[in-house]
Amino acid sequence: MAVEPKIRLDHVSKVYPGTDTPAVSELTLDIDPGEILVLVGPSGCGKSTTLRLINRMIEPTGGRIYLDGDDVTDVNPDQLRRRIGYVIQQIGLFPHQTIAENVATVPKMLKWEKKKISARVDELLDMVGLDPRVYGGRYPKELSGGQAQRVGVARALGADPSIMLMDEPFGAIDPITRESLQNEFLRLQDELRKTIVFVTHDIDEAIKMGDRIAILGKQSVVHQADTPERILAYPVDDFVRSFIGAGTAMKGLAFERVGDLDLAPFDGPNGNGESGAEPTGTITADATLYEALEEMLRTADGKTIVLDDSGEPAGVVELSHLSDALRTAQDEARRHYDELEAAS
């Protein structure tokens, strides 16, 4: 039996006052419990508007919004927002409040006891990797961009909402800090299993963060909503193809691990008795096929040795493994879309 979606957008539209063209037009999308659904699309396609419609910072001009099966389109927005955490790019921390006070915002609104609030603030700061004794008493201007962004995440998690809306949360951060924030957030999500709608215009971030990605065109028209693997293997139209850009096949290799392949045998350092017949590069079995390709290119070999846990050669991965894996992914995706079409 299919799970009930956590969030259901049913033909949701938004026409801003004083404009003729809808910012979002008849958007229909289901978001499952515990998944990260990434909205990705060109600037101005209505991603932020869609997030703000979900927590009713703005009112839809058409359609219905359901949470856990309940129509919340007309529910009091204040009540709704307690169930929903919201993180934005420019964090919006209150400058004259300490970090602890900032993180306490929602629990205070909910009139929790002081002791409970203070314990929760410590727990949240710990959760996002900031020592509450060091950072709790600081003010926002005394933090780096990456630290401030972590505080933004901690604040949004304040009352343990089951839904998080994240609008380019790591957008204004340098690439290295950004990558570590993404990794930390994915680790946190492994424990918390929130339902997350995550906006970005960066397809690589979408591929990394998304359980599913919805690729939106103008007015939030959904061109394709699916797993990153399927979107990379089988873009459904030219818009998606051009949006995901160059290197699609290579990106698809990041989803499979070398250890899952049926490896070619390793014949010894100089297989067939000829010097240099065996590859020189090595990778471990938990490496992705993307990393295997990288190693083949680095060593200018068409294959590379796979080492087991004790560092001994377990076999050899060859270029043909990579093309086979891509073909299998494409075949699976094509079959999936054929079945969907046949069912419709």
Binding site for ligand ATP (CB under 6 A): 16, 19, 23, 43-49, 201
Question: At closest approach, how far in Å is the CB of 184 from ligand ATP?
Answer: 24
Q: What is the spatial order of strands in the sheet that 62-67 belongs to?
A: 24-31, 7-14, 62-67, 70-71
Six-digit token string for 14? 């938004």
Nearer to ligand ATP (CB atom), residue 17 or residue 311: 17
64, 10 in Cβ contact below 8 A? yes
Question: At closest approach, how far in Å is the CB of 181 from ligand ATP?
Answer: 19
Neighbours of 250 (CB within 10 A): 15
Nearer to ligand ATP (CB atom), residue 16 or residue 94: 16
32 vs 39: CA distance, rounded Å: 14
CB-neighbour burial class of residue 72 (10 A; exposed 0-12, middle 13-18, buried 19+):
buried
Q: Cα Rg for the chain, rounded, in angstroms?
A: 24
Q: What are phi and psi for residue 25, nearest 5 degrees?
A: -125, 110
Paired sense of beta strands 84-88 and 163-167, if any: parallel
Reported as type and span, the H/E element at residue 309 is none
- Give the largest CA-CA distance in the chain: 79
308, 285 in Cβ contact below 8 A? yes
Nearer to ligand ATP (CB atom), residue 201 or residue 241: 201
Nearer to ligand ATP (CB atom), residue 45 or residue 153: 45
Nearer to ligand ATP (CB atom), residue 46 or residue 235: 46
Question: At closest approach, how far in Å is the CB of 314 from ligand ATP?
Answer: 45
Closest by alpha carbon to 264, among 203, 207, 204, 313? 313
Question: At closest approach, how far in Å is the CB of 185 from ligand ATP?
Answer: 20
Question: At closest approach, how far in Å is the CB of 222 from ligand ATP?
Answer: 13
Closest by alpha carbon to 5, among 38, 27, 50, 37? 37
Question: At closest approach, how far in Å is the CB of 178 from ligand ATP?
Answer: 17
Question: At closest approach, how far in Å is the CB of 168 from ligand ATP?
Answer: 7
Nearer to ligand ATP (CB atom), residue 43 or residue 344: 43
Question: At closest approach, how far in Å is the CB of 251 from ligand ATP?
Answer: 21
Nearer to ligand ATP (CB atom), residue 45 or residue 156: 45
Q: Cα angle vertex 46, ends 63, 44, to 5°?
A: 155
Nearer to ligand ATP (CB atom), residue 48 or residue 304: 48
